[in-house]
Amino acid sequence: MAWEEQLFALFEDLEQQAEALADAARAPDLLDRGRAEYQQVSLASRLVASLELPLLLEVEGVGPLRGRLERVGTGWCLLSGDGGSAQDWIVSLAAVTGATGVSERSVPEVAWSPLTRLTLGSALRRLAEAGERCVLHRRDGSRLEGVLRRVGADFAELREPSGRLVLVAFAAIAAAQGEDA
C-alpha cells in the first residue's frame, strides 16, 4: 500500500472516530429532546392511532370496558361492545383512568380528520336526536336512565321515566350507553 493510501486510511479512521465521539456526546441531548417532545403527546392522540383496535378502557365510575375503538373526538371516544355484546359506549376521556391494547404510535392533532374535532356534546346530541332511552353513567358510579332531551354547552338534559328532568354536567359524565344498556 502506498504512503498516500495509508495516509487517506488514517484520515478516514480518524474521521470515523470523531463521528463516533460526536454521536456519543449528542446522544443525551437527543434523549432529552425525545422526552421533551413526548410530553406533547396526549391520550387522545394515542387513541386516534388506535382506531379499530380492540381495547380495554378503565373508566372512573364504570370500571373496565372492552371493545373496538370506533371513533375519537375532542374529549370523548366511541367504543363498540366486545364479543356478543352489540353495546356501544360513548366514553368521556376525562373519566378514562387507564387504557390497554393501544397503539405504540400517536397521531398529532394537526393530522386528525375534521370529524375528530367533534365534542362530547356532539356525540350526546346524536343520542338526543335518536330519542331513544339511554343510560348516563356518572363518574361517582351512579347511573341515570331516561331520554336525552337537549344538550347544552356543558350539560345534558335527561328526562327520567318518572317524568323528572335532570341536568347533568359533562364533567360528571363518565360514559353513555344507548337503548341496549
90-126 confidence digits (pLDDT tens): 999 999 999 999 999 999 888 888 888 899 999 999 9
**Is there a single domain that holds both residue 35 and residue 49?**
no
Residue 2 scores a pLDDT above 70:
yes
**Is there a single domain that holds both residue 23 and residue 49?**
no
**Is there a single domain that holds both residue 151 and residue 72?**
yes
Domain total for the chain?
Answer: 2
**Is there a single domain that holds both residue 30 and residue 79?**
no
**Is there a single domain that holds both residue 113 and residue 136?**
yes
Positions of E strands within the chain:
54-59, 63-73, 76-81, 88-92, 96-100, 133-138, 143-151, 155-159, 165-169, 173-177
- What residue numbers bound the domain in which 99 lies? 43-177
- Please enumerate in sequence order all residues whose Cβ is within 8 A of that of 142, keeping only pairs 6 or more positions apart, or say none: 61
**Is there a single domain that holds both residue 36 and residue 15?**
yes
Q: What is the CATH number of the domain that holds 129?
A: 2.30.30.600
**Is there a single domain that holds both residue 34 and residue 48?**
no
**Is there a single domain that holds both residue 16 and residue 56?**
no
**Is there a single domain that holds both residue 52 and residue 131?**
yes
**119 phi and psi angles, rounded to 5 deg:** -95, 175
* Percent of the chain scoring above 70 in pLDDT: 86
Q: For the chain, what is the mean pLDDT?
A: 87
Q: How far is CA 116 from CA 16, 110, 147, in A?
A: 48, 11, 25
The pLDDT confidence band at residue 35, using thresholds 50, 70 and 90, is low
The pLDDT value recorded for residue 38 is 74
**Is there a single domain that holds both residue 31 and residue 111?**
no
**Is there a single domain that holds both residue 87 and residue 126?**
yes
Radius of gyration of the chain (CA): 26
